[in-house]
């Protein structure tokens, strides 16, 4: 890996409560360009909560989020996307009834004329189809058909579409919440390859996963959360894999 160390995304002193549950207690995090940051922790550690705050689904109670060193206000998913952050949610957020290209551009369609309010514009379907096809091709994702709804596609193909969508629109940060959880070996491989490609393109990637193999193989850095607190940060390798696991579960190494 190139020694890229520009912090693209910084989270400082993040706190989030859900009623009586302290989901995040003073968590900090930085993600650098061209780097895969693994976000680790046991079930309920606060991983999804943290990334949902960054992607605009939840709002932080306290703390701040900085992009390229500048504080940004992220009050909605749309605001996060405007800031250059794209998220692949655990449930993918794909529309089964739409084609890959329609899924790609859903919510940010290419449309005309520009003087109309965005909802009343006319779809530039051919442009969207062509662009999406090119992108999917470039990412070496193979789809059985391009004009059929994604309902007909396998878990891996769907995952690939969701990752590709995030990859294309993310200018700075791509967040993936357990992108291989539901996949078989072969399909997991493809998604990991995609993540590598994104890293090579210089994006900052935050990867949530429970799969230690993938962490060791792919991550440049790992941040471990336990019960809403950051309990460690290290560079994963085969050698310290056991240490990483004990940090996650809370046993002393």
Partner 1 sequence: MDQQSDIASGPQGAGRHDTTLSAVRLGLRLLSVGPLLILIVLILAIGMVTPNFLSPGNVSNILAQTAVIAIVAMGQHLVILTRGIDLSVGANLALATVIGGLAYRWADSAVIVMLAMVLSGAAVGAVNGIVYVFGRLPHPFIITLATLSICRGLALQFAIGHTTMRGMPEAIATIGGASTFGVPNSFFVVFAVAAVLVVLAKAMVWGRWIYAVGGKPDAAVQMGIPVRGVLVSTYVISGLCAGIGAVVLAGRTQAGSPLYGNLLELDTIAAVIIGGASFLGGRGHVGHALIGAIMIGVIRNALNLLGVNIFFQMIAIGLIIVIAVEGDVLRNHLEARARSMHAGQG
Ligand X SMILES: Nc1ncnc2c1ncn2[C@@H]1O[C@H](COP(=O)(O)OP(=O)(O)OP(=O)(O)O)[C@@H](O)[C@H]1O
Give which of ligand X, Mg ion, partner 1, none residue 44 binds (C-beta under 5 to 8 Å, depending on kind): ligand X
Q: Would you count residue 43 as binding ligand X (CB under 6 A)?
A: yes
Give which of partner 1, ligand X, Mg ion, none residue 172 binds (C-beta under 5 to 8 Å, depending on kind): none
Q: Would you count residue 114 as binding ligand X (CB under 6 A)?
A: no
Q: Would you count residue 209 as binding ligand X (CB under 6 A)?
A: no
Segment contacting partner 1 by CB under 8 A, of 12-20, 83-91, 205-213, 231-239: 83-91
Q: Could you list the beta-strand ranges (E) of the chain.
A: 7-18, 21-32, 35-40, 62-67, 70-72, 85-88, 111-112, 122-123, 173-177, 204-208, 221-226, 229-234
Segment contacting ligand X by CB under 6 A, of 42-50, 69-77, 165-173, 213-221: 42-50
Q: Give the separation between CA 245 and CA 40, rounded to whole angstroms.
A: 9
Query: What is the per-residue binding string for partner 1 in 223-252, x denoting contact by CB under 8 A?
Result: ------------------------------
Q: Would you count residue 48 as binding Mg ion (CB under 5 A)?
A: yes
Q: Which of residues 170-199 bind partner 1 (CB under 8 A)?
A: 184, 186-187, 190
Helix axes 125-138 and 155-169, enclosed angle (nearest 10) = 100
Query: What is the per-residue binding string for partner 1 in 100-119, x denoting contact by CB under 8 A?
Result: --x---xxxx-x------xx
**Residues near 15 by Cβ (< 8 Å), separated by ≥ 6?**
22, 24, 25, 26, 27, 60, 61, 62, 63
CB crowding 199-235: b at 16 or more within 10 Å, else e:
beeebbbbbbbebbebbbebbbbbbbbbbbbbebeee
Q: Of 11, 23, 27, 218, which one interacts with ligand X (CB under 6 A)?
A: 23
Cβ-based nearer residue to Mg ion, 48 or 188: 48
**Smallest gap from residue 90 Cβ to Mg ion (A):** 6
Distances (CA, A) of 53 to 3, 69, 94, 107, 108: 28, 18, 20, 20, 21
Q: Would you count residue 91 as binding ligand X (CB under 6 A)?
A: no
Q: Give the separation between CA 95 and CA 61, rounded to whole angstroms.
A: 31
Binding site for Mg ion (CB under 5 A): 48
Sites of contact with partner 1 (CB under 8 A): 57, 76-78, 81, 87, 89, 91-98, 102, 106-109, 111, 118-123, 142-145, 151-157, 184, 186-187, 190
């Amino acid at each position: 890996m190139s020694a890229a160390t520009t912090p693209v995304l910084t989270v400082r002193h993040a706190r989030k409560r859900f009623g009586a549950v302290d989901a995040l207690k003073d968590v900090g995090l930085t993600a650098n360009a061209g780097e895969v940051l693994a976000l680790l922790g046991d079930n309920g550690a606060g991983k999804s909560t943290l990334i949902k705050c960054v992607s605009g689904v939840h709002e932080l109670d306290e703390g701040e989020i900085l992009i390229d060193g500048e504080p940004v206000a992220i009050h909605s998913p749309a605001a996060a996307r405007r800031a250059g952050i794209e998220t692949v949610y655990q449930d993918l957020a794909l529309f089964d009834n739409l084609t890959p290209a329609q899924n790609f551009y859903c919510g940010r369609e290419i449309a005309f004329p520009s003087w109309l309010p965005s909802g009343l514009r006319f779809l530039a379907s051919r442009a969207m189809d062509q662009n999406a096809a090119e992108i999917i091709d470039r990412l070496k994702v193979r789809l059985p058909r391009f004009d059929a709804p994604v309902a007909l596609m396998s878990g891996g193909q769907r995952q690939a579409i969701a990752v590709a969508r995030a990859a294309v629109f993310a200018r700075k940060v791509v967040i993936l919440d357990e992108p291989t959880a539901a996949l078989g070996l072969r399909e997991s491989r493809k998604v990991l390859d995609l993540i590598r490609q994104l890293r090579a393109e210089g994006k900052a990637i935050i990867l949530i996963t429970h799969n230690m193999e993938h962490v060791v193989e792919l991550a440049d850095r790992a941040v471990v959360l336990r019960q809403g607190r950051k309990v460690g940060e290290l560079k994963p390798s085969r050698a310290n894999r056991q240490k990483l696991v004990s940090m996650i579960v809370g046993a002393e190494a």
